[in-house]
Amino acid sequence: MQGRRLATTEELIAIVSPGSDDVVARLAAWADDRGIRLSTVDVGEPIDDVYDGSRATLGITIGGDGTFLEGIKTFAPRGVPQLGVNTGTLAFLARVEPEDLEAALDEVLRGRAAIDSRQQVAVRGPGIDATGINDVTIEHVPPDDPIDRKITRLDVYADDEYVGEFEGTGIAVSTPTGSTGISLSANGPIHYPANNHTLQLVPLHTHQLGVRPIVVSPETELRIRTQGPASLLVDGGRAHALLEEGEEVLVTGAEKLAHVVHTSYDDHFFTAIAKKLGWDVRDVDEPPRIPAAGTDAEVEGDDFLERARTIATEAAEAAGEPLRELHGQVESVAVKSDKSDIVTEADHQANRIITTVIENEFPDHGIVSEERPRDVREDGYTWVVDPLDGTGNFAHGNPNYSISIALLEGEYPVVGVVYVPETDELFSAIAGQGARRDGDPIETTDRDHLDESMLISGYDPDGSFLTRFYQETRGVRRLGSTALNLCYLASGSADATWEYDTYPWDVAAGLVIAREAGARLTDERGEPFVFELETEGRSALLGSNGPLHPALLAHLEGDDAVRDR
C-alpha cells in the first residue's frame, strides 16, 4: 500500500488501552480541527458499529505492543492501515511517542508517511483457524506428575517433503515481525520486518545441537503432526488450542498482509532493538531525523521537474491501488447499473488521491481533470489528470486501462507519467531528458515500410483507418486507452498510432513520453500536433516512429473519408 494514499484519509478509528485519556483528547482535537471523523473503541471490543468500509480509514492504536497486536487482529482483515502510538513500555511495534502525535498525523495526512506490509501467519487444524502477526507455537503440555516426561516430539513436513522429527519443548513458526521474540531466544536471526514476506521454523529447547531455524516462503505449507498432547498458541495466546496425539495442523503465510504506517517521528526498528535488546553494533541514541518523502524546500529547473515526476509517480501508484481493488469486483457484478457505480467510484477515488497529493505538494499549481472544475495557471504550472483512461475496458474487466498525469509549463507539457495498474508498468518522461519504462530508457522503432509494421488505432468511428491499413500492415490493434497507445508507440511495441478525436487529459502525458522516445506527432495532414488545453473542437493525432510517417500520410491523404471528416 502506498503512503500517498493516506492523504485522502476521511476517518480515524482508534483502539484505546486504559489510561490513555490525555492522548485520546489530543487526537480528538486534532481530528476536529481538520474535519476528520474519529471513533474510539476500547481494546478488545469490536469495531463493527463504527466501521463500514465506505470511507478512507486510518486505524490507530493507543497503548503498548499488546494493543498494537489487537489492532492488527482488527484492522488487517479489513485492509485498513494502522499507526501505533506508544503509551506502553516495550514499543517494538507501537513506536510513535505521544508527544509526537500531532506532527506524525500531519505527516500522514500530507501523504508523506510510509506504509510497509507485514507478513502474517495462518494456522488451521482441530479446534483452530486463526491468524497472527508474530508467531504460532506448538509446545508440550506440562505433565500432572513433575517426574513425567517434559518434552514433545513433532513431525514436520514442508509441502510434500519430510523435514524431520523435532524433539524438545516444541517449535515456533514466526513471521519477521515475531523474529525478535521466541525465535531470537532459540539462536534464530533477527529479520527486518518491513516488506519481508517470509516465515521461520524455529526449534524450541531442542535436544540436538545441529538443529537450526529454517526460513521458508509464505506459500510453503508446513504440516505439523503431534506424537503426543501439545498446546498451540497464536501470538502468545490470542488464539489457542489443545492438540491430541496424531493430530495435524497446517501453518502457512496468511493471505492478508498487515499494513503498518511509519512516519519520520517513529522510534525506528534498529533503535528499538538497540534500546530493548542491547543490540550493540550501534549507539542507542537515535540518529538525526530524516524528513519523510517530500519537502517544502524550493527547487528549480531540472531538480524541480524531477521532483514533479517523482510526486506524479507516487500519486499514480497510490491511485492504482483502489483501481485494482475495484477492477477485481467488476466481473463478479451482473447488473449493468452496479458496474457503472463501480466505475464511477473508481474514477472518483483515483482522482481524489491524485489531486490531493498534488495540492499537498504544489499548492500554487493549477489542476485540470474530467472530475473537477478547471484551474489553469497560464503563467505558471498546471497539472492535467486522467485518473482512469480506458473506462470501457475497466467496466468490462479488461486490464488495458491506465492513469495519466502531466505537468504543463504554461501551455506546454513538460512532465508525463502513465501508470498501468494491472501490469504495474510505469512510463514517464521529462522534456529534454528522454523517456523511461520502469526506469529504463525507451525509444521508438526504426521501421519504414508499412508491410513490416504494426499500428494502433484509437477512436476510429467508421473504421476508415482500420480498413485502409489492415491489409497493408501486420495488423491494426485497438487497445481502448489513448495514453497507453502513445506509450506503446514510445516503447516500440507499435510503430504508429492514430486518434480521430482526442481530449487534452487523454494525451498530455503520452505526448511528453512519445516525443522524448523519438516519435513524430502530427495531425492527419502532417502539420505538427499542437497541444491545446482550452480547445473545444476535436484534435486528430497521428503518431509514428518517424521513418514510417510519410507512408502513413500518403495513405491518409489518399482516403477522402479520413481526410475530409
Whole-number pLDDT of residue 534 = 77
Give pLDDT tens digits for 188-215.
788 889 899 999 999 988 777 778 889 9
Q: Does domain 3-115+259-277 have CATH number 3.40.50.620?
A: no
Categorize the per-residue pLDDT at 293 as very low, low, confident or very high, splitting at 50, 70 and 90: very low
Kindly indicate the confidence band of residue 341, based on its pLDDT and cuts at 50, 70 and 90: confident
Q: Residues at the annotated binding site for NAD(+)?
A: 65-66, 134-135, 150
**Averaged pLDDT for residues 285-303:** 55
Binding site for Mg(2+): residue ranges?
Answer: 370, 386, 388-389, 506
Please give the CATH architecture assigned to the domain spanning 450-563.
3-Layer(aba) Sandwich (3.40)
Entry pTM: 0.84
* pLDDT above 70: residue 153: yes
In the structure grid, which three cell numbers stand for residue 120, read together? Answer: 502474517
Q: What is the mean pLDDT of the chain?
A: 88
Helix or strand (DSSP H, E) at 82? strand 82-86
What pLDDT shows up at residue 469?
Answer: 86
Residue 31 has pLDDT above 90, yes or no: yes
Identify the weakest region by mean pLDDT among 70-84, 88-102, 253-267, 442-456. Answer: 88-102
Q: What is residue 185's predicted lDDT score, i.e. its pLDDT?
A: 74
CB 67 within 8 A of CB 24: no
In the predicted structure, residue 555 carries a pLDDT above the cut 60 = yes
Q: What percent of the chain has pLDDT over 90?
A: 64
Residues taking part in catalysis: 65
Arch. (CATH architecture) of 302-438: 2-Layer Sandwich (3.30)
Q: How far apart are CA 540 and CA 542, in angstroms?
A: 7
pLDDT at 337 over 90: no
Asked whether the predicted pLDDT for residue 492 surpasses 60, the reply is yes
Structural contact between residues 510 and 416, judged by C-beta atoms closer than 8 angstroms: yes
CA 252/CA 88 separation, integer angstroms: 31
Q: Which CATH class is domain 121-253?
A: mainly beta
Summarize the confidence of residues 79-104 as an average pLDDT.
89
What residues are designated binding site?
65-66, 134-135, 150, 370, 386, 388-389, 506
**Domain coordinates in residue numbering, the chain:** 3-115+259-277, 121-253, 302-438, 450-563
Q: What's residue 81's pLDDT? A: 96
Number of other residues whose CB lies within 10 A of the CB of residue 296: 6
Highest mean pLDDT among 80-94, 99-113, 141-155, 338-352: 99-113
When comparing pLDDT for 356 and 502, which is higher?
A: 356
